[in-house]
Structure 1
């Protein structure tokens, strides 16, 4: 890869990213039903549209590849043209890159998997962590969508505040680790996570069947500062000692991030960007359940690399960025799309590399 990879034809944030059949696939989210393919053997030919996604366009679905096919689970969207409010979707779709065709799988997710993280075991089973509760999310969206924010601003704000001020347990996010086996179209429950449920965690394949789940959020607006490690080798589920959390700035604890880019550059685990509400963890520790009330959402620029048993800031992105797609390639970690600090979806591709001295380069 001697030249920069082409940008997406349209901006994409909050969508899907997958690598299958020697190609990258990015789409959905802000791109609606559109999905684009980049042939890694001929990247300068650019991103080409594939068959459009056949279901309601999902935002923040869970995506994984098994046996060469791409699986898209859940997400949030309007389930039909007459739907008055978004809901957590429970459908599963499969894309066959060889045939260029989508199909709806005859199953539904056992729980809402909006914002969940997924990886695939060697036996083809897709293992999923986290996810929103469908009933809680759907009820809130129905309530707040029925209020005219312009005509009744106080009622709208009161409804939002009552929802955000709930304790984390009231959101009933998925705390079980689920596995979907495409081979027999079956679901299994691998057990409970020993940690509080969260969503939006960045997943890094560490090798040897181990993965890291970086941060995420424990409830809307409140980030989780932990970096959890799970061993999935041999079909088991073994929670290992967590990695140390990155250090914060100016002597403050690290706030954590949601929606970060993540992967490996060579053998080095890396994550970058993501969003946070600085000060929310302090407010939550002081008993404020609506922890991010009055705080400013920040799109982070920091890039962290893990070496010598610690996370190190190795540089910054040109802009704050989150909720895009990440791909670990032989050349480095490729960032595709995302959302910037203005909340604007982006179409750029950026390749992150580390030189021998550990210095970050972004092309």
Structure 2
């Protein structure tokens, strides 16, 4: 019985790609206009131009054992565009270098530094515009510092370590913060990291934290009386929210004086490029010009798994005459800032071997690691599409040309199919991607959100369902007209339609973006393929085709997720070791205690998601329409419970998949896409680690989840448009005319979804749509509040409810804008606001005629 599983495990292990290609494409910008170049320069970006200033060198470029003394510089050079020419645009207050320089939205912040005689506490901002440099003073450091490190995090500057004077025999253990967004802010001394003091460390900012890597400890040698350097490989993270430090995994080797701040790659990596490991430090005076240079490995620290991996190399090209003519070769530099310009890493000059500088400007473009998708995979995906076409063709052949069949499947859908369809309609490709990504990045706190489906099911079954079945509605918003008036119905219907159309474009675009990356299909072709097939079977077979394809799609989706989970567990020794390792790391944490309204603590998760699920299952046409397709109320109840109970094992599987991803990449950090997004971790794993065939099955599952969401939305929107708007505009239209309108509107919705998705492709900016979804999402709770007001509060009038809806939407807008509560509570605010404002304003807007008898499921 174990043979198939052993075979699958062997297939997985032999299919793994263990080689990580270089994560950058390297090139060079025009060299600095100095024949030698500088170390310890300041650099940054101001108004789109790259600036390099100050620094020091030995003019003969031999080093301290040459014939020239170390010389300091004050020139400021600017490069307006990558293919332009450097020009001198100003001077620093004095010749200086070896300070911290950081790019901010206002300009380049210069912090501390040194010259041949002293160290400085100066802090000033340089802004470059129209060929002119302007200077703005900031509060001085509490103490002079050189060779410190720093980074910008959430509007504040953090400075760590350094050395106070040229004659000091110890490196400092100082940690300062300046909130430079506040006009009168002063430097604040914070608690230092738990390790030794250091200079020439690498700082970084990622995932809301400040990081400190490597550096060298300086102390006086008690035997020789000289200065002894200890090269460090330790690492630390500072959490500003908690004001605490944590010890991290050590670097594979010291990386002293590596370009700083570290490059924040993707959403969860910090890259340390090169550095001095100290292995040749004792031999510098012997090696002199024969020194081989510094390390060029790029080390990636992954903030989620606390692991290090080598992910490439800094470009090095040593010519045969590198010893005598170092300037002709390309080396990995140290003691130089790292700057991000036009999305690329820039290393401007630096020291390439002890005492030797370079004027070369290295630049690196981040690359995305791609997976493989072969013929066998395409065969599996092709089989999936054939099943979709076959199901829709069969259903279309027996469907009658009536709106009852098109919208409700003749009310003859089996309860189990309706339940699977409800489940499939809510399990979108975004969910398939987002839930594993969430548990991979954090823990299981959010799993309680899906458990609330089970808590909501009895409320829907006993209070909402009987009423909806009793009045035999097609659109759930017909309830609002019967209870209140046509204005309330049209407002509810319009809210649903606008939200779903906007969502339609999103659920086409984002999964298509992932699928395009994984499969290699052109993005526009991917959008068109998904939309064309989905629109075709939705038009031809109506809700019945949607339901039966969703049944098949759920099987494909869950099967792909299960096999992915199995292979991930197999790669780390099985489920037992995987669970034990994740448990020790706290990845199964379920409860955040506390009473804060802005954090996902237990009560916020439960209350917020109970009301969120109540919103979905009581007022969302996509869901309500499914449990109206069954023959009886008893079967409708069974369909609701089927969905609720199925959600538990499915949620466990997807959360466990995320945990398995964390364990897998903890063991294989070099397999991560350092420049990728955390949200893409599951598709990335699928495309790079799963064997052929199974890869195709899981990608078919992603197609299934996407198409299920699209078809559900299109059919439900068409239902509302036909029932609530077309029938209102043309009350005498025949059923045949309504049927044709429903089909044409479905076609129009498919085209609209494609149009929005294509627009997003060319826009290349999702932030507008993120804001759009936030604004439209405000009305979900308000919409549910309308239904709750109608069923449970007989004294609320139409005018009062309309006023309550609008005021609660305004209230929710301010709540969102000011982040007063966690977003889980938004639906609750919408519901409570709509009901409370409705009760308050109903006496102001009494019914002009005797109100219809309010029908209620609890009468």
TM-score (norm 2): 0.23
User: Which aligned runs of 4 or more in structure 1 are off by greater than 6 angstroms?
Assistant: 79-84
Partner of 1:167: 290
Q: Distance in 1 between matches of 2:367 and 2:240?
A: 27
Q: Distance in 1 between matches of 2:220 and 2:271?
A: 28
Partner of 2:235: 92
Partner of 1:103: 246
CA distance 1:123–1:81, change in 2 (3 Å): farther
Q: Distance in 2 between matches of 1:114 and 1:71?
A: 15
Residue 256 of structure 2 corresponds to residue 114 of structure 1: yes
Partner of 1:203: 338
Aligned counterpart for 1:58 among listed residues 179, 187, 198: 198
How far 1:190 sits from its partner (Å)?
Answer: 1.7
Partner of 1:136: 280
Task: Check the 8 A contact 1:111/1:174 in 2, yes or no.
Answer: no
Unaligned runs of 5+ in 1: 141-159, 237-363
Partner of 2:309: 188
Residue 189 of structure 2 corresponds to residue 49 of structure 1: yes
Q: Distance in 2 between matches of 1:3 and 1:223?
A: 30
Query: RMSD across aligned C-alpha pairs, in angstroms?
Result: 2.7
How far 1:216 sits from its partner (Å)?
Answer: 0.9
Please tell me whether Structure 1 or Structure 2 has the larger radius of gyration of its CA atoms: 2
CA distance 1:235–1:72, change in 2 (3 Å): farther
Alignment of 1:143-162 (within 5 A): 161-162=285-286
Alignment of 1:204-219 (within 5 A): 204-208=339-343, 210-219=344-353
Alignment of 1:8-19 (within 5 A): 8-19=141-152
Alignment of 1:241-280 (within 5 A): none
Task: Check the 8 A contact 1:111/1:134 in 2, yes or no.
Answer: no
Q: Distance in 1 between matches of 2:147 and 2:190?
A: 19
Task: Provide the aligned length of Structure 1 versus Structure 2.
Answer: 211
CA distance 1:48–1:188, change in 2 (3 Å): same
Q: Distance in 1 between matches of 2:351 and 2:177?
A: 30
- What secondary structure does 2:152 align onto? strand
- What secondary structure does 1:111 align onto? coil
Q: Which protein is richer in helix relative to its size?
A: 2
How far 1:181 sits from its partner (Å)?
Answer: 0.8
How far 1:110 sits from its partner (Å)?
Answer: 1.4
Task: Check the 8 A contact 2:210/2:238 in 1, yes or no.
Answer: yes
Partner of 1:227: 361
CA distance 1:100–1:38, change in 2 (3 Å): same
Alignment of 1:285-300 (within 5 A): none
- What secondary structure does 2:359 align onto? coil
- What secondary structure does 2:184 align onto? helix
Partner of 1:34: 174
CA distance 1:81–1:6, change in 2 (3 Å): same
Q: Distance in 2 between matches of 1:82 and 1:70?
A: 34
Task: Check the 8 A contact 1:20/1:97 in 2, yes or no.
Answer: no
How far 1:203 sits from its partner (Å)?
Answer: 1.8
Q: Distance in 2 between matches of 1:194 and 1:52?
A: 35
How far 1:235 sits from its partner (Å)?
Answer: 5.7
Task: Check the 8 A contact 2:220/2:228 in 1, yes or no.
Answer: no
Q: Distance in 2 between matches of 1:123 and 1:79?
A: 37
How far 1:43 sits from its partner (Å)?
Answer: 4.2
